[in-house]
Structure 1
Amino acid sequence: MKKFLLRILCAILSAVTCLSLFTACGGGNNGGKLDDLDLRFDENGDPIFNDITLNVWSVIGLPDNVYLNRVAESFNDYYKNNGVKVVVRSMNESNFYKSLPSTLRTDKKNAPDMVLYHSERLTYFASSGIIAPIEKYLTAAKNPIDRNDYLPNVISECVYKNDLYGIPLDEHAGVYFARNDVLEKNGLSVPTTLQELVNVCNTLITLNRNSRLWYRTLNSQEWKKGKLENFYPLSMEYDNGIATGWIPETALLQNGGSMSTADGKPGWNNDNLAKILQIIRDWWKGENSYPDEFTYSGAFIQKDAQNSTMWQRFADCNTVFAMEGPWQIETKLNEFKELSDKEDQDGNKYQAVEIMNLSKLFALDPTASYADKVYGVGHVFSLTSVCTENAERAVAAAIFAKFMSENSINYLQGGHLPAYKKTLASEELKSKDFYNRYVKKICDPTTLEFLGNTKNFTEVYEELKSAFSDNLSTQSSFVSLTAENILQQRYKTALDAISANEDL
């Protein structure tokens, strides 16, 4: 009798365990064994699944997630008779990165099958077991991926220990928005080098000081000539991560440096970056640390300016150059469209806002071979480790990622460049109004350089951002230091943290 009851108990436990695994993976028919998967295919050669709904987490938010969702819906439409659909959940970036590891570990039922996130974090995710290799699932679907079909700068960041852990969706970089109308009315052009940027800012400051600056606001076509209070031509807020996430990294690359070393440690503690940071500090302190190279007519940057007021200052002409992510380009161009389309009091029209990419903008030598480099980031799709517990779901998720990458044109309207070479070269993309209006102005994607394959994302990337913020801070503990001192302090902090992690 005891043996009989024991057998019943074991059977119940076994059934509960199987049900738990099935529920955790959300459907599918064969558990995690890819070799045992017997996929069926339709007349087009596309796999047929068993009523799978994929759960995808994405860091892409408004406004560009609108375009992302349109492409996802086209996937659902294409596969509507093949037993698979996808639900994309856009998340706040901070919540995404904070919640993902714990959800995969403790709440498999609600864990995502696939994640769409920043490529610079892929090596850390792969080394931590958060994501899994993807190629074998595409091979099982008879839809293999060719790494050579993608731009090398982003696909290389998707590889960990020779395995492909991500499929790139896009590439992007930060940009400056320039009040082109103000520049043109005052006889100036959008700068393309560091020296030109200094010259333009000096001229604007001098014109304003002498009450000879032509300006107009977003809500008025009428030009006025005079002096603006609190006029600082260059916006460089460091409180929100936009400027900190693009300027020091790009300045490093444009002066011959690299973000990380071969062993994954910070590569940014060098003299040229320290010099550029000191120059940027001079722009708000009103000092000339290098008078033989640059002189200043006044402060370019407002001390402790807040990102929350940047666009109002830009609209009111209190600043002429404002930095943002490319996902804001379409929105801002549309906001200023009426100002661009209407005639001023003299019957003239001016393009109010122009995109100023970062190429050569912080290079001490604009003729150097690396002067046009810009720090780049990609969005990539990866399978989660939980998803691979069910091979059928993993195949479906891999197919979704490849579909999105190869059919990304409409998503790019949100302000991104394609990672897929065929899309980049396609006549369809080149014929799009949004591509010619602003996307192609973001940068030449071949000049983008990425973080690299390092699991020390926080120490390499975040510590450099902190060094940039410290350099612009008005706190007395930082003001007394040189840019070089600050850079060395943050570099030491980064190395100490890496060493501590290695000792764990």
Structure 2
Amino acid sequence: MGGLAAAGLSLAGCGPATTALDSRTPVRQWNLFTGGDGARMVQMHDAYRSEHPGIDFRPTTYLWGNPFYTKFTMGAAGGRAFDIATLHLSRLRGMGPGTLIDPVPVDVLAEFGVTENDVLPNIWDKCVVDGQLYAIPLDTHLVVTYFNRDICDSAGVLDADGELIQPTSEEEFIDLLAAVKDVTGQYGIAMDTTGAWRQFWSLYRQLGGEMTFDGELGIDDDKALRVLDLLRRICQEGLAPEVSDAPGTPANFQNEIAGLMFAGNWEITTFQDAGMNFGMQPFPGIYGEALGQGDSHAFVLPHRRTPNDAAVRAAVEYAAWMLKNSITWAKGGHVPAYLPVTESAQYNELKPQVNYREAAEKVQYDPQAWFSGSAAQLQNEANSVFAGVHNGSVTPEEALERFKRAARKLINTPEPV
């Protein structure tokens, strides 16, 4: 039994860092990529292994969202869980930089070909906490507009280049949806009403809305209500389904129940595999600048109780390799953070990815708080409350008050890390 227990610990990645049977440098990587993302990550990892025979590389994938972040926190606190992990940049400050997460040695990162000049400033700055780099950004992923070219052509809403006409006001947007609905006979646009935060935050930021949590909630009620009323109106006028979840939204678009869709750029593979004739553009600038809610996947290093320069070096080299080879990742819809990739001839040939490349320069990360970010409680509360605006069960005013109460409760909750 003792021998079996020892073998089990080794298989679980909790055994000693090196063994007498394998002199290779171990790199244990944790991530939260499943589905299409997971398949591309496996493809990249296979290529990494073939080019690094001296590395004993062992990735582990956990369920997306809270299951992963709970495991991450426990593993990092234990001190022997992984050598490098992937997380959302919006969650970085709440996951213990300086306690559970160690700084990235920028000199080592530069040695492997990645510097501040290779990443968009707005993304690099998000990786810096108290003047130190704590994350290596892999990509930007954000809500964008999908459009069925055949339906939109019949609706007369394509320009001379065959791209979707961009609305610049509420009324132009409503007219666009109505024209598309006339062709589909059902809806103009599909959007995830159970994930209403994405649409809300995109439009709220376009209006210049801020949200702060410094002891008390800071929010512009007038701007928030204007956005919620637009979302209510779209559904009330039958231009979008009142209820549509994450799986149902792309299905509605693929089945031509709607000719447009708001969704994350990672849905691209679904429609390519289906052979659809579709295009993609940034989230429309209905209230001005075309700003869209989004996030970035990034690599972080766990805090080490015992310094291990060789292990850190190997982990940083892995992250740099992933950035430099992220053209594979781009094929799944995400915009690589590494500028030499997004500015390359290879990327320029990716359609329709190249059409929303500039959206990464304006990505709107969630407001800063330990309870904010991808799969965090603030999003969950907003999604739950704002879904009622879409289906008509609550008014915009009622929804806003419920959201504010939930946000204040989170502000008064002690930070766990």
Q: Fold conserved (TM > 0.5)?
A: yes
In structure 2, the CA distance between the partners of 1:245 and 1:98, relative to structure 1 (3 Å rule), is: farther
Does the 8 Å contact 2:145/2:284 carry over to 1? Answer: no
Does the 8 Å contact 2:144/2:281 carry over to 1? Answer: yes
Matched with 1:72 is 45
The one of 115, 134, 151 equivalent to 1:182 is 151
Matches within 5 A, 1:169-248: 169-189=138-158, 190-193=164-167, 194-205=170-181, 207=182, 213=183, 228=185, 231-239=186-194, 241=195, 244-248=196-200
Q: Distance in 2 between matches of 1:144 and 1:408?
A: 14
Q: Distance in 1 between matches of 2:212 and 2:15?
A: 37
Deviation at residue 256 of structure 1 after TM alignment = 0.9
In structure 2, the CA distance between the partners of 1:269 and 1:501, relative to structure 1 (3 Å rule), is: farther
Q: Distance in 1 between matches of 2:306 and 2:298?
A: 17
Does the 8 Å contact 2:210/2:220 carry over to 1? Answer: no
Does the 8 Å contact 1:260/1:266 carry over to 2? Answer: yes
The one of 73, 76, 90 equivalent to 2:61 is 90
Matches within 5 A, 1:137-156: 138=108, 142-143=111-112, 146-156=115-125
Does the 8 Å contact 1:275/1:484 carry over to 2? Answer: no
The normalised TM-score by structure 1 is 0.69
Does the 8 Å contact 2:27/2:58 carry over to 1? Answer: yes
Return the letter of the residue paired with 2:166. Answer: T
Matched with 2:6 is none
The one of 260, 284, 297 equivalent to 1:321 is 260
Return the letter of the residue paired with 1:131. Answer: I
Q: Distance in 2 between matches of 1:402 and 1:264?
A: 38
Matched, 1:447 2:362: yes
Q: Distance in 1 between matches of 2:326 and 2:113?
A: 18
- Aligned residue for 1:174, secondary structure, equals strand
Does the 8 Å contact 2:97/2:103 carry over to 1? Answer: no
Deviation at residue 98 of structure 1 after TM alignment = 2.7
Matched with 2:102 is 132
Deviation at residue 117 of structure 1 after TM alignment = 1.7
Return the letter of the residue paired with 2:32. Answer: V
- Aligned residue for 1:188, secondary structure, equals coil
Q: Distance in 2 between matches of 1:397 and 1:310?
A: 38
In structure 2, the CA distance between the partners of 1:374 and 1:315, relative to structure 1 (3 Å rule), is: closer
- Aligned residue for 1:203, secondary structure, equals helix
Q: Distance in 2 between matches of 1:413 and 1:388?
A: 39
Q: Distance in 1 between matches of 2:86 and 2:320?
A: 12
Q: Distance in 1 between matches of 2:15 and 2:130?
A: 26
The one of 324, 327, 336 equivalent to 1:409 is 327
In structure 2, the CA distance between the partners of 1:470 and 1:389, relative to structure 1 (3 Å rule), is: farther
Does the 8 Å contact 2:190/2:252 carry over to 1? Answer: no
In structure 2, the CA distance between the partners of 1:88 and 1:245, relative to structure 1 (3 Å rule), is: farther
Does the 8 Å contact 1:373/1:449 carry over to 2? Answer: yes
Matched with 1:57 is 30
Matches within 5 A, 1:345-424: 352-360=277-285, 362-363=286-287, 366=288, 371-386=289-304, 389-424=307-342
Return the letter of the residue paired with 2:130. Answer: K
Return the letter of the residue paired with 2:353. Answer: V
Deviation at residue 396 of structure 1 after TM alignment = 1.1
Does the 8 Å contact 2:262/2:283 carry over to 1? Answer: no
Q: Distance in 2 between matches of 1:459 and 1:414?
A: 27
Q: Distance in 2 between matches of 1:413 and 1:273?
A: 35
Q: Distance in 1 between matches of 2:251 and 2:111?
A: 53
Deviation at residue 389 of structure 1 after TM alignment = 4.8
In structure 2, the CA distance between the partners of 1:429 and 1:178, relative to structure 1 (3 Å rule), is: closer
- Aligned residue for 1:101, secondary structure, equals helix
Larger Rg: 1
Matched, 1:27 2:17: yes
Instruction: Give ranges in structure 2 of 5+ residues lacking alignment.
Output: 1-9, 159-163
Matched with 2:371 is 456
Matched with 2:386 is 468
In structure 2, the CA distance between the partners of 1:142 and 1:417, relative to structure 1 (3 Å rule), is: closer
Q: Distance in 1 between matches of 2:218 and 2:30?
A: 31
Q: Distance in 1 between matches of 2:324 and 2:290?
A: 28
Matches within 5 A, 1:215-364: 228=185, 231-239=186-194, 241=195, 244-260=196-212, 263=214, 268-285=219-236, 298-337=237-276, 352-360=277-285, 362-363=286-287
Matched with 2:404 is 491
- Aligned residue for 1:329, secondary structure, equals helix
Deviations 1:160-197 (A, max 9, x none): 22111100001121223222211212333334224332
Deviation at residue 270 of structure 1 after TM alignment = 3.5
Q: Distance in 2 between matches of 1:358 and 1:314?
A: 16
Does the 8 Å contact 2:136/2:300 carry over to 1? Answer: yes
CA RMSD in angstroms, aligned pairs only: 3.2
Matched with 2:131 is 162
Deviation at residue 373 of structure 1 after TM alignment = 1.9
Does the 8 Å contact 1:260/1:267 carry over to 2? Answer: yes
Does the 8 Å contact 1:70/1:411 carry over to 2? Answer: no
Instruction: Give ranges in structure 1 of 5+ residues lacking alignment.
Output: 1-19, 30-48, 208-212, 216-227, 286-297, 338-351
The one of 74, 79, 94 equivalent to 1:102 is 74
Return the letter of the residue paired with 2:17. Answer: G
Matched with 2:4 is none
- Aligned residue for 2:59, secondary structure, equals strand
Q: Distance in 1 between matches of 2:306 and 2:83?
A: 8
Does the 8 Å contact 1:55/1:112 carry over to 2? Answer: yes
Return the letter of the residue paired with 2:100. Answer: I
Does the 8 Å contact 1:173/1:442 carry over to 2? Answer: no
Does the 8 Å contact 1:175/1:324 carry over to 2? Answer: yes
Q: Percent identity?
A: 20
